Amino acid sequence: MEAPSTAPAVDAQEHMGLAHLCAKRFLRHGLDYAELLREATLSLVAAASRFDPQRGTAFSTYAVPCILHDLRRACEKGDPMHVPRTQRELLRQAAQHRIAFLRHTGREPTLEELAVELDLPCEELGAAIAARRRMDSLKEPCREDSHTRVLFLPDRKAEQFVDYLLLLDVIARLPRPLPRLIQLRFIRNHSQADAARMLHISQAQVSRLEQKAREALREALAWGIA
């Protein structure tokens, strides 16, 4: 009797484009592209070994969330090029204040205005931003290298597919009942009254939760998570 095959149902090498697309989304999170691609490739291979085509799900739909999860975890751990935790928190708060300022005034804040909002010396905030820009500049040669340029020019539909799955991942990680609310209001286009009835809360609560959901998604997108 022939032993059952233990080979993966899909060839990970044929789906390396997914690893490149996912790695590209995390270029501003403290790891260089080579390290990101290594993590994405390991995750892709692991996903290929676990994938069960009998479940009726496309491999890309299954693999992308796995790769994004592992990349996010790798970025949180950091490496010799990582942004210190305190600096990451400072930049996160600066991004939040920038969004709030832009929403209320209709213009971008100056460095001095952001520093006042954060109750920090202007020099400290400027140094944190400059450090992040220097780190980004170190990644630029990899992005423009003649041997890898093609990796950053994928099919537009593939990019949109990864963006879509990344957005779904961001929504899924929001606290309850925000994911369900987003589905009802912005995907199924239910009214606030209908959403309130389905969620068993008041319409006023729906309105407040909508604002919270928008702010959470806006922050995630501004910070480069999605």
Fold classified for 83-148: Arc Repressor Mutant, subunit A (1.10.10)
Determine the length of the chain: 226
Secondary structure letter of residue 189 according to DSSP: -
Whether pLDDT at 169 is above 70? no
Does the pTM surpass 0.75? The reply is no
CATH code of the domain made up of 1-82:
1.20.120.1810
Whether pLDDT at 9 is above 60? yes
- Residue-level pLDDT at 85: 63
Joined tokens for residue 62: 């299954």
- Residue-level pLDDT at 131: 59
Whether pLDDT at 145 is above 50? no
- Residue-level pLDDT at 223: 46
- Residue-level pLDDT at 150: 30
Pick the range with the lowest mean pLDDT from 123-127, 145-149, 154-158, 206-210. 145-149
Cα distance between residue 168 and residue 92, in whole Å: 21
- Residue-level pLDDT at 7: 53
Tens digits of per-residue pLDDT, 18-75? Answer: 888 888 877 766 677 888 888 888 888 888 888 888 887 778 878 888 888 888 888 7
Q: Between these two residues, 36 and 142, which has the higher pLDDT value?
A: 36
Secondary structure letter of residue 25 according to DSSP: T
Give the residue from 135, 95, 97, 125 showing the smallest Cα distance to 221. 95
Task: Locate the domains of the chain by residue range.
Answer: 1-82, 83-148, 174-226
Neighbours of 188 (CB within 10 A): 11
Tens digits of per-residue pLDDT, 81-138? Answer: 455 667 677 777 888 888 888 888 888 888 788 888 888 887 777 767 765 554 444 3
